């Protein structure tokens, strides 16, 4: 069963990484730093990137360019801007980490509690649910990114 499930989860990973990468390619620098619904676009993306990293086992990726955990969690808004090029670099680095995690899951591991999620937010999600949540979380924020692009008169990513 693991190969059927992990193959499906890998397709979800391809989906959300591909769509977020499409946004990063389409996002102009001036939009990257603009606020949309009270928060700058870069900070929404930093939040998605940070969550993806923290929900997966293994070494935590250092925060880039002076950004903080608090800015990733929308507790502060005045951190230095995460440069768009750094966001692309960070997102690109998360794909292999995510896929390696998915590929590592045995049948037993699929339904085991994700200890990283539990430690971070105290929620009892299985590893399967964690990957599905990363997908839905990325797409939730992708809606914001698409609306920001369209609001600027640019083509959306959907």
Task: Establish if 56 belongs to a structural domain.
Answer: yes
- Its pTM stands at 0.92
Is residue 158 situated within a structural domain? no
Residue 147: inside a domain = yes
Give the domain extent around 113. 2-151
The count of structural domains within the chain is 1
**Token pair of 85 as six digits:** 């090029």
Q: Which residues of the chain have pLDDT under 70?
A: 1-2
- Dump pLDDT digits (tens) for 119-155: 989 999 999 999 999 999 999 999 999 999 999 999 9
Has residue 87 been placed in a domain?
yes
What CA–CA distance (Å, rounded) separates 54 from 19? 20
What CA–CA distance (Å, rounded) separates 40 from 81? 9
The candidate with the shortest Cα–Cα distance to 157, out of 12, 16, 15, 20, is 20
Query: How many C-beta atoms lie closer than 10 Å to residue 40's C-beta?
Result: 19
Q: Is 139 exposed, middle or buried (0-12, 13-18, 19+ CB in 10 A)?
A: middle
């Amino acid at each position: 069963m693991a190969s059927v499930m992990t193959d499906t989860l890998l397709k979800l990973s391809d989906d959300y990484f591909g769509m977020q990468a499409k946004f990063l390619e389409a996002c102009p620098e001036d939009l990257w730093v603009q606020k949309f619904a009270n928060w700058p676009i870069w900070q929404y993306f930093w939040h998605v990137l940070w969550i993806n990293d923290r929900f997966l086992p293994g070494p935590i990726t250092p925060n880039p360019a002076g950004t903080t955990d608090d800015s990733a969690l929308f507790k502060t808004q005045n951190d230095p801007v995460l440069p768009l090029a750094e966001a692309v670099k960070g997102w690109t680095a998360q794909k292999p980490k995510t896929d390696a995690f998915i590929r590592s899951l045995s049948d037993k591991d699929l339904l085991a509690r994700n200890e990283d999620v539990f430690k971070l937010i105290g929620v009892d999600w299985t590893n399967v649910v964690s990957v599905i949540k990363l997908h839905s979380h990325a797409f939730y924020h992708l809606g914001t990114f698409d609306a920001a692009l369209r609001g600027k008169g640019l083509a959306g990513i959907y």
